[in-house]
Amino acid sequence: MKQRYTITAIAENKPGVLYRIADLLLRRKINIESLTVSEIEHKGMSRFTIVVDAERDLVEKIGKQLYRIIEMTKVIESTDDELVPREIALIKVTAKTKEKREEIEQLVRLSKGRIIHIDKNYLVAEITGDEKEIDKLDELLQPFGIKEIVRSGRIAVFK
């Protein structure tokens, strides 16, 4: 049965690692739902957070095959209940009147987001949270007219 898994891969920060990770997933025809990369607490090391929707067995095999990448030091496959996940989203929403702006500001605030940019025709809201919280705000702001939405993809720490 397919399920959402987060593969956390720690590798040396060298060229080519991302290419090989992507190729491995491509060969197994696994679609990457999201992928974020950044440096971690150990200098020279990068952390890849890869969200996939796939069967457990396949994810475990991928986990082992990722170790074939010479620069790879650690690979952990997790389900959502093992993680504290976060994502950031920027939502640009149409707001041409004072009333609309106030209404949007209130919705954003109640959703634990904030307004980070104001223009006479639109607002930009920022929200961090798990995917559901972001989906919720997205849904709440839809009626106002969303001009752009961009999401960072998941980062996560282990529980």
Partner 1 sequence: MKISGSQAVLESLLQENVEVIFGYPGGAIMPVYDALYDYTNDGRIKHVLVRHEQGAGHAAEGYGRMTGNPGVCLVTSGPGATNLVTAIADAMMDSVPMVCISGQVHSGVIGTDAFQEADVIGITAPVTKWNYQITKASEIPEVMAKAFHIARTGRPGPVLIDITKDAQFEMMDFSYPEDISLQSYQPTTEPHQRQIEIAARYLNNAERPLILVGQGVQIAKAQKELQAFLEKGDFPAAFTLHGLSALHSGHPLHVGFLGMHGNYAPNMLSNKADAVLAIGMRFDDRVTGRLSDYLNDATVIHIDIDPAELNKNVPADVPIVADAKIALQSLTKAIRKNTHTNWIREFKKLYEVEKKQVIDGVTHPKTGEITMAEAVTLLSELTKGEAVVVSDVGQHQMVTARYYRFSRPNSWISSGGMGTMGFGLPAAMGAKFARPDQEVISISGDGGIQMNIQEFTTLAQEQLPVKVIILNNGFLGMVRQWQQLFFEKRYSMVNIQSPDFVTVAKGCGLEADRVVARIDLKKALQKMLDHNGPYVLEIKVEQEENVFPMIPTGSSVDEVRLA
Residues contributing to the site for partner 1 (CB under 8 A): 11-12, 15-16, 19-20, 23, 27, 60-61, 64-65, 67-68, 70-73
Question: Which residues, 6 or more positions from 28, have their beta carbon under 8 angstroms from its beta carbon?
Answer: 58, 61, 62
Question: Which residues, 6 or more positions from 62, have their beta carbon under 8 angstroms from its beta carbon?
Answer: 7, 24, 25, 28, 30, 52, 54, 77
The residue among 43 and 132 lying less far from partner 1, judged by its C-beta, is 43
The residue among 12 and 135 lying less far from partner 1, judged by its C-beta, is 12
- Least distance to partner 1 from the beta carbon of 23, Å? 5
Handedness of CA 43, 79, 130, 48 (dihedral sign): positive
What DSSP element (H or E) covers 119? Answer: none
The residue among 9 and 52 lying less far from partner 1, judged by its C-beta, is 9
- Least distance to partner 1 from the beta carbon of 45, Å? 9
- Least distance to partner 1 from the beta carbon of 85, Å? 26
